[in-house]
Structure 1
Amino acid sequence: MDTSARVIARRLATQRLSSAPLPTATDAVRLLTCVQSQERDHAFFSLAMRATTPTYAAVRAEHDSGAFLRTHILRPTWHFVAPEDLQWILDLTSPRVLSGMAGRHRQLGLDDVRRLDDGLELIRGLLQDKPSRTRSELGAAFGERGSPITPGEQLGHLLLVAELRGLVCSGPMDGVHHTYALVDEVVPPTPRRDRDEALVELVRRFFCGHGPASVKDFTRWSSLTAAETRQALAELDDELEQLVVDGIPHWFDPARAPRRRRDAPAAYLLPVYDEVVLTYPQVTFPAAPDHPYAERPDPFWARVILDGVNVGLWKRTVSGTVVDVDVRLAPSVTSTGREQVRRAAQCLARFLERELSYVENEGRPHLWRG
């Protein structure tokens, strides 16, 4: 096995996709520290793939109980995070993210500090009146109170700022809708960390949960700088080991490297934005030579992985009691491999508690953006 293949195999085990699953979805969040989740329901499946939590309903119940949160953290996009990790990670990473948003503030007319602060105070007051509200409910309340901040992009950006500043995070879902709650009311107080301590801890947690990974993988994930990362790695030199791929060190924690289990699946339908794909732009699953579409990613078609190789694309449609799974596989995939992919689709159906309608179509799918 070449070094790239060893790195990929070790990541699958580190992230508990091929090793023993974790007890709960929340444990998977804690392992990965922050889990990208703008496609929330797909991200719920990502957690279930790493845990013994069997169904969508069970993962949602953990989320709605506040065992893990969904908010904007690390970068200006949604992530799952454990409550005890929220504040110190925001303290470490949000200043850099917020400083890069000045242009967007001006574009939306929120560069007036007083207007921005008044909007944040209005959010605080509205959520003190009611424990959680959807964005639509907040928009209606802003209109009723005559706020100059409009319910569309302005309010969306204001809520993003409120999350990055640690004012709000997720509350329980309202039907299919995300809700917002005050951090002070749903997150128990946690000790603050000084910046150097927080930096070392975030680097440690990343390489423990995502390793083997490179400095560039961490900076993409965290929004922090390469210089800061190398500073922290120097302090962790006794804890971490590395594999070198094309001259680039990939760090991991040898003490937290679980073994591949004997019954590990050969095939995975990885959700869009799954951490085992998105985190590693350089050393990632190689595409089969006859892959139906490998030139660029698409946000609605996710990867089919078979024996460590990207062999195709898949997409799901959920309706009533059925989940339709459309799979496009490389022609070179054998009948045995195709059966393994079907089994992976059946895992998705069980998670959704629906019947599986499985179709292997030919050729490249019609991709978003053409």
Structure 2
Amino acid sequence: MMITARALNRATLARQLLLGRESLDVVDAVRRVVALQAQQPASPYLALWNRLSDFDPAGLDAAQADFRTARTTLMRVTLHTVHAEDYPALRAAMEPVLRASRLGDSRFTASGLTADDARALLPDLLDFADRPRTNAEFGDWLENRLGGPLEPAAWRMLRQYAPLWHVPTARPWSFDSRPPYVAASPRPAPADPDAASEGLKTLIRRYLEGFGPASVADMARFALVGRARVRAAVQALGDALEQLEGPDATVLYDIPGAPRPAEETPAPPRLMAMWDSVLLAHDDRSRVVPPPYRKHVTRVNGDVLPTLLVDGHVAGVWRAVDGGIEAGAFHPLPDHVWNGLAAEAAALTAFLADRDPGVYRRYDHWWAKHLPAAETRLLPG
């Protein structure tokens, strides 16, 4: 079966709840969309605001406070918010990547510790983290255990490898730059190749449910897992996956029966969060990000700006300013699209009002570095 590029776009938008806001419990929504990119604390909130009707941020506050969702280092070795029940399989899938990238990093090895040392240390470290602990508390514990202080950079690598969850602290977006940490519950089993293989099969199924159809390259990029591992997992899944032919005869895989709306299905305008997962989930990002715009949206240091989504594709960027939302379109947009964006901007301004009206303000410096907007409008709040 063949599928067009536009139909791929609509399939992913449907699975990401971006063809129309849906009425879902916050925790159920996190599971539906698989994983919310979360290194900027506001982004999971804005991601859900784009996807849910009548989204109440207090629902996500509560889910994070009682750990029905978990914020932790996972796919692409970066922070994600995931359903707590999905965490064990996702962590098992990512174990080899996290171990190699964090315990093999020169910032960790310069401490004199080895990967074997870290694994031997981990059970007692997690026992200590049976309740929320600050960086200072971990530092004291490690100094006592190791007989000397562990450099901050080495501790950062170790805690990103360890199965630790971030602990919410305060509004506006639950987390600050120095959160406490607590051991994941249940704790993942020690490094186990069989667990990693089974976890990767689960990750692939979950990924396809949320972002498919997709190629082996897409799956590998989403997780930052080697393509050979992904191919082996796809082969092991066998008839549990359906094979399609995508643009340029690319081999794509999908979950049988997963949503694939008609390519003419309308896609409403949206003001997407920074680092929204839908912008980062594929090796071929032209599914959502037109190639000429990719370098404007993803900056040289990896910052992924808040974007305008028009007809299912990135069409510009936005930022919160005094008086509303400044929207810069990369190409001319018709009046009816601007009207739709204006309605979204008014709703977003109201949403931000009692939380953080200047959300993402620290990233405004990118707007001084020649973002090529064909037209810029202030959309009043």
What TM-score does the superposition give when structure 2 sets the normalisation length?
Answer: 0.76
Equivalent AA in structure 1 for residue 61 of structure 2: R
Give CA-to-partner distance per residue, 1:102-154, whole Å, 9 cap, x none.
132455415346874687567446434xx21343554477679974114x323
Match of 1:169 among 165, 170, 176: 165
Q: Secondary structure at the residue paired with 1:365?
A: helix
Equivalent AA in structure 1 for residue 287 of structure 2: T
Indicate the residue corresponding to 1:338 in structure 2.
338
When residues 353 and 85 of structure 1 are mapped into structure 2, their CA distance, relative to the original with a 3 A threshold, is: same
Indicate the residue corresponding to 1:149 in structure 2.
150
Match of 1:307 among 300, 308, 311: 311
Equivalent AA in structure 2 for residue 348 of structure 1: L
1: CA distance, partners of 2:347 / 2:149 = 48
Superposed, 1:47-126 pairs within 5 Å as 47-52=48-53, 54-101=55-102, 102-106=104-108, 108-112=110-114, 116=118, 120=122, 123-124=125-126, 126=128
1:110–1:154 Cα contact (<8 Å) kept: no
When residues 106 and 20 of structure 1 are mapped into structure 2, their CA distance, relative to the original with a 3 A threshold, is: closer
Indicate the residue corresponding to 1:33 in structure 2.
34
User: Shift of the alpha carbon at 1:244?
Assistant: 0.9
1:348 equivalent in alignment to 2:344: no
When residues 93 and 124 of structure 1 are mapped into structure 2, their CA distance, relative to the original with a 3 A threshold, is: closer
User: Shift of the alpha carbon at 1:9?
Assistant: 1.4
What TM-score does the superposition give when structure 1 sets the normalisation length?
Answer: 0.78
When residues 341 and 227 of structure 1 are mapped into structure 2, their CA distance, relative to the original with a 3 A threshold, is: same
1: CA distance, partners of 2:345 / 2:55 = 14
Higher mean C-alpha displacement, 328-337 vs 66-75: 328-337
1:13 equivalent in alignment to 2:9: no
2:10–2:265 Cα contact (<8 Å) kept: no
2:93–2:198 Cα contact (<8 Å) kept: no
1:272–1:302 Cα contact (<8 Å) kept: yes
Q: Secondary structure at the residue paired with 1:28?
A: helix
Indicate the residue corresponding to 1:201 in structure 2.
202
When residues 351 and 213 of structure 1 are mapped into structure 2, their CA distance, relative to the original with a 3 A threshold, is: farther
Superposed, 1:255-274 pairs within 5 Å as 255-257=257-259, 266-274=268-276
Equivalent AA in structure 2 for residue 332 of structure 1: P
2: CA distance, partners of 1:106 / 1:189 = 22
Higher mean C-alpha displacement, 192-201 vs 46-55: 192-201
* Matched residue count: 346
1:14–1:210 Cα contact (<8 Å) kept: yes
Indicate the residue corresponding to 1:237 in structure 2.
239
2:92–2:200 Cα contact (<8 Å) kept: no
User: Shift of the alpha carbon at 1:8?
Assistant: 0.7
When residues 216 and 137 of structure 1 are mapped into structure 2, their CA distance, relative to the original with a 3 A threshold, is: same
Q: CA RMSD in A?
A: 3.8
When residues 53 and 83 of structure 1 are mapped into structure 2, their CA distance, relative to the original with a 3 A threshold, is: farther
When residues 302 and 71 of structure 1 are mapped into structure 2, their CA distance, relative to the original with a 3 A threshold, is: same
Q: Secondary structure at the residue paired with 1:181?
A: strand
2:240–2:256 Cα contact (<8 Å) kept: no
Equivalent AA in structure 2 for residue 173 of structure 1: T
Match of 1:284 among 270, 284, 287: 287
When residues 115 and 205 of structure 1 are mapped into structure 2, their CA distance, relative to the original with a 3 A threshold, is: closer
Q: Percent identity?
A: 20
